[in-house]
Amino acid sequence: MDGALVQQIGIKALLAGAGVLLIFWTVNAVKLVISARGINPLVKKFFNQIAAGRIDAAYLLTSKTYKQHVNRQDFLKFLAGLELNRYRNLKSGRPRIQDEQIILTLKLKSEDKKSELPLDFTFIKIEKAWQIDRIARA
């Protein structure tokens, strides 16, 4: 009888733990989706500016912190080193929240889909608008 009682309590505890974990995951997923609104248009605008040759406009989409660490010349060198003209397709990964920043891995794929360039973008929200705070090869 004691074994059956322990087993019943164990199953209930396991189900309660799974329920709490499911609620926690759901709340975090909803929080991430709500907080990440506006990032996709920013990414699209960033790459459209670069494709149109408006590098200064793309540079203006970065945060003040980014501009303090990466000057315009270094930004141009970084972009030139990426050889972005080789890539046509953009695939977005799953965003991650870290210290009120959102990190998103973007994968640029060549037209023939043989080569891929993963880039980690870190976004920060300043005055209700997202800005690019960091760009790095993944």
For residue 45, the model assigns a pLDDT of: 95
pLDDT confidence tier of residue 103, bands split at 50, 70 and 90: very high
What distances in angstroms separate CA 109 from CA 58, 103, 115, 117, 135, one per listed residue? 20, 19, 6, 6, 17
DSSP-assigned letter for residue 1: -
- Selected from 3.90.700.10, 3.50.50.60, 3.30.200.20, 3.10.450.100, the CATH number assigned to the domain covering 38-137 reads 3.10.450.100
Burial class (CB in 10 A: 0-12, 13-18, 19+), 100: exposed
> What pTM does this model have?
0.74
pLDDT confidence tier of residue 111, bands split at 50, 70 and 90: confident
User: Is residue 91 pLDDT above 60, yes or no?
Assistant: yes
The three-state secondary structure class of 32 is helix
